[in-house]
Amino acid sequence: MAAAWGNEDFGRIDRWDSLSVAAGMHDEGWRSWDDAPEVDPAGRPIDFPDLDRSAHVALYSGGIEAAVSRDPRAGLLVSMHGQGLHEARLGLDGAARPRERQESAVRAFIDEQEALQARLRTRIGGGEALAEWVWAGYRLLQAWDLLSLYLLWYGLPKGMTGTLAGVPRHGSDTGVDVAIEPDGDRVCTLRPYPFTEDEVVFPVAARVVPSRRYAGDGDLRSALADAPWITEEVGVRRGRAAG
C-alpha cells in the first residue's frame, strides 16, 4: 500500500522510505506467534484479538525493538502503533480507555513506549517539524493497517462498508475520511481515492488449515507446517464521485 500510495489529491510526506519501513514492520512482533500459534481450552485456534494482553505486549515489545534497530524514525511510528492498539489508536478511534483501568502489563507497556518515543524524538531531532511528520506518518500507517484488516478480516468478507478516518492529504493537514464500499468478493472502492493507479491488486501470502477443534498446540502447529503457502489477491479501485 505504501508503494502504491499517492496522486494529485494525496501527496507523499517527506522521508517516505522510513514510513515504508514502518509499514512493513508495524506488526513485526507477531512473527514468533505466527510460527507457533496456540489453541484455546476448546481446541480452537486463538484469533489475534483474543490473545492474552500480557502476551500481546511482550510480542509487540520485541517487534518495536527490531524496528528501532532498523530505522529510528520507523521505530518511533511502530512504537506509537503498538501503544495506539491499547489507546484507541491515539484518539483516532475516539476516547481511550483510562489507563488506571488497563491491565498492569498494558500500563507498563504504555509507559515504556512513551519513554522510548521521547528518547527517539531527542535522538532524531527536528522539533515541531518532526512532530508534524510523526503525526502524519502515524495516521497513514493506521489507514493502511485498517484497510488491510477491512480487506481480509472484518469488512469485505462480510460485505460491510467502512471508513478510514483522518487520512492526511498533504502532510500536516487534518485529513479526510475515506469511505470504503465493497465492490465484489475481493475488491472494494475508496472515495476519495488515494492511490496512484485507478485499481491496485495486493498479493496476500497465506496458509489454510482445517477449521476444526485441535487436540492441542502441537496439533495445530503440525497442521500449519503441512499447509502449503498460497497467494490470494485483494484489491481497491477508484469509487465513483458522490452525487
pLDDT tens-digit map of 20-63: 999 999 999 999 899 999 999 999 999 999 999 999 999 999 99
CB 7 within 8 A of CB 194: yes
Percent of the chain residues topping a pLDDT of 90: 93
Taking residues 217-221, report their average pLDDT.
Answer: 98
At residue 177, the pLDDT reads 96
Task: Look at the alpha carbons of 50, 113, 97, 134 in this order and tell me if their dihedral is positive or negative.
Answer: negative
Q: Which three cell numbers stand for residue 198?
A: 485507478
Please enumerate, as own/partner, the contacts of 239-243 that have beta carbons within 8 Å and a separation of 24 or more: 239/179, 239/181, 239/183, 239/189, 239/190, 239/191, 239/193, 240/189, 240/191, 241/191, 242/191
CB 188 within 8 A of CB 203: no
Q: Which three cell numbers stand for residue 35?
A: 510460527
Q: Which three cell numbers stand for residue 132?
A: 508534524
Q: What is the pTM of this model?
A: 0.95
Length of the chain measured in residues: 243
Q: Is 18 helix (H, G, I), strand (E, B) or coil?
A: helix
Task: Assign 112 a pLDDT band (cuts: 50, 70, 90).
Answer: very high
Percent of the chain residues topping a pLDDT of 70: 99
Residue 238 pLDDT more than 60? yes
Distance between CA atoms of residues 43 and 212, nearest Å: 8
Taking residues 72-76, report their average pLDDT.
Answer: 98
Q: Which three cell numbers stand for residue 150?
A: 477491512
Taking residues 147-169, report their average pLDDT.
Answer: 95
H-type alpha helices, the chain: 16-25, 31-35, 53-70, 72-84, 104-124, 127-149, 217-226
Residue 222 pLDDT more than 80? yes
At residue 185, the pLDDT reads 87
Distance between CA atoms of residues 214 and 49, nearest Å: 19
Residue 115 pLDDT more than 90? yes
Q: Which three cell numbers stand for residue 5?
A: 500510495
Taking residues 83-95, report their average pLDDT.
Answer: 94
At residue 242, the pLDDT reads 60
At residue 172, the pLDDT reads 76
Residue 67 pLDDT more than 60? yes
Taking residues 68-76, report their average pLDDT.
Answer: 98
Task: Look at the alpha carbons of 217, 154, 113, 87 in this order and tell me if their dihedral is positive or negative.
Answer: negative
Taking residues 210-219, report their average pLDDT.
Answer: 97
At residue 230, the pLDDT reads 98
Task: Tell me which amino acid residue 37 is.
Answer: P
